[in-house]
Amino acid sequence: MKIERITPFLVDRFLLVRVYTDEGIVGNGEAGLWAHHKSVYHAIEELSDYYVGKDPRRMEHHYQVVSRNTHFAGAVLSAALSALDMAMWDILGKSVGLPVHQLLGGKCRDRVKVFANVVGDSVEARAESAREQVEAGYLSLRTMPFFPDWEQKTPTQVIDDAVAIVAAIREAVGDGIDLGVEIHRNLRPEQAIVLAGELAPYRLLYYEDPLPPESVEALAYVARHVHLPIATGERFYAIQQFKDLIDRQVVSLIRPDLSLAGGFTQLKKIAGMAEAAFVGIFPHLMGSPVNVAAFVHLDAAIPNYVLMESHTFADAYNEIVDEPVTREGGYIRVSDRPGIGVEIVESRLAQFPYRPQKITGYFHADGSVAH
């Protein structure tokens, strides 16, 4: 079997890819660098010069050749490799009539636990949103404990708001529902430490991305001063970055993105390293129904999976695939269809014109850059 051509598609806020073979099998994948899809689009076109004519079933070999050929690395190249790797695993599964999770070692679970996001522009709205999600069957919730104007407030006001939001949610749903907070890399170390202390009584499952991702040393400093489980890693794109994070013993959960950190080939290794250190896998999911379906296969096949986002946002784009995933309350049913379980319907992609991510910036009251 040989790859005949590779076609990337810019669709709404997504970057999809299809890999066509000489045996008529077509693989489906998706890249996860959502803010820079045009750059990844061109990277996929460039990488096609290598992949066309090659056997798509040699995923590990191809990853090693491309990533080590010149030793230039980065998120753009990794996102492109991830999309292609996903598509090649899809091809392999279809070629042998098996779902990807079976090729990765078989199911560790029949359904994948997911969380719902709690939103609202007031404390009361957050509490009501939390109640609605629990009524819908979710057993795990996450919220970003900030209001839209947080950048204009003092750090003390931001912390006060965050505590009020989390307290209201916990009171609304009780102690039996898992709750995590997404800090979204918005705080400085001293702010993250103070907020973690204030949130400790509310029995949080995780404290996600308290700092920007550039300094593991700064994260280690925060970890030494807080008593909440830390989750991070969604911006990481290389297995070595995750190894460093795990080796430093600063996290309870890591957040690799299947469509950014190397596809199935690399994520299975990352999960194995984490398993040996009793670190859970909390995948970062941002994308279309293609990504949702692919992630479920990874989640099903690794023993240390914890949870991921339900990503109901993607439901608005279900038309671009033939059979989107099936949600059952706070779970997604694991598909046994060959490959990743969905097929991109090319004739429907034009219904969703590409929407590029514009750079607008976020600013504090004094005009300095926030985030």
Q: How far apart are CA 356 and CA 37, in angstroms?
A: 8
Distance, in Å, from the CA atom of 142 to the CA atom of 207, rounded to the nearest integer, reads: 10
Three-state DSSP state, 172 = helix
Question: CATH 3.20.20.120 spans which residues of the chain?
Answer: 102-338
Fold annotation for 102-338: TIM Barrel (3.20.20)
pLDDT of residue 70: 87
The answer to whether 184 is a known catalytic residue is: yes
Measured CA to CA, the distance from residue 206 to residue 254 in angstroms comes to 11
State residue 72's pLDDT score: 87
Instruction: List the strands of the sheet with 26-31, edge to edge.
Output: 3-11, 14-21, 26-31
101 labelled catalytic? no
Residues in the chain, pLDDT under 50: none
Kindly report, residue by residue over 92-116, the tens digit of the pLDDT: 999 999 999 999 999 999 999 999 9
pLDDT at 120: 97
pLDDT of residue 371: 76
Whole-model pTM? 0.96
Among candidate residues 368, 367, 363, the one with its CA nearest the CA of residue 151: 363
Which pLDDT score is estimated for 71? 86
Tokens at residue 1, please? 């079997």
CATH superfamily of 3-99: Enolase-like, N-terminal domain (3.30.390.10)
Alpha helical stretches, state H, 174-288: 189-199, 216-223, 239-247, 263-276
- Nearest in space to 92 (alpha carbons), one of 106, 103, 80, 108: 103
User: Annotated catalytic residue: which of 37, 62, 101, 284?
Assistant: 284
**pLDDT tens digits, 247-264:** 999 999 999 999 999 999
Indicate where the chain has its CATH 3.30.390.10 domain(s).
3-99
